[in-house]
Structure 1
């Protein structure tokens, strides 16, 4: 279902998290559950993935992940501050030690000069702290932005597992 590189990374993450007895959570907006989907495609993933939050709307981000309304108003849904709040919320609202959050504009519409199509903010919370990453994939197509986002998110989970 997923490209080979994503499958391989998901397998490594599940194996490492299971070995270390660390649970994972995802907080997804533009990826719509694809990160959790990649992880659950791995046999035995129930030993590593606690849950996935698909929080496409601002209301869902607030209700499910406790993202402050003030953050959404001041910075917007697609921002470093929102991604970080999503990651923190995913850890707080789950049994996970590590969470990754993704919020962005996959396109084809919805972009602006400040926040163009292909802009995606990532955050990962784990024992080694909270990290953020911004990517500007460009207007490469909705599916391509979403798959590229899955790759980055899995890399961030792997980074938090290594810290």
Structure 2
């Protein structure tokens, strides 16, 4: 609980966020993203999709930083360099859109599955309530016999018992 939280806070203050992300990416890359994906729930898979694209996102940031640095220093890139910078930034933006779409698909699938599970739960609950209602009706039917019906049932029972037991003759 608290010990782990303090430890995590110490790590976060000691190591910049980018380095932590790079280390997480490296660990997952070594383990294999498909293998890690099998171990987490849908929300985890959605997050994992962005972690898997981390290096490409960093490359896009690098291209943006390069363009900003050149502009701040008053250096105008050649047409070829500008095309390459633009291409790198567009690739990162396209990747971000793709990852967002994949994350949306993963979460929509999880939501659909949760809705189906909830429907099945409530259908089971409704069936159970119906069965309980039928059982109560059956029980009520048996307990609300008229006095004449009870006498008739008692006489039939006694006749059945009398006929089923034969007295020994000595």
Tell me if TM exceeds 0.5.
no
Q: TM-score range by the shorter chain?
A: under 0.3
Structure (1 or 2) with the larger CA radius of gyration: 2
Structure with bigger strand share is 1
Q: Structure 2 length as normaliser, TM-score?
A: 0.23
Q: Quick check: which one's helix share is greater? A: 2
TM-score by length of 1: 0.23
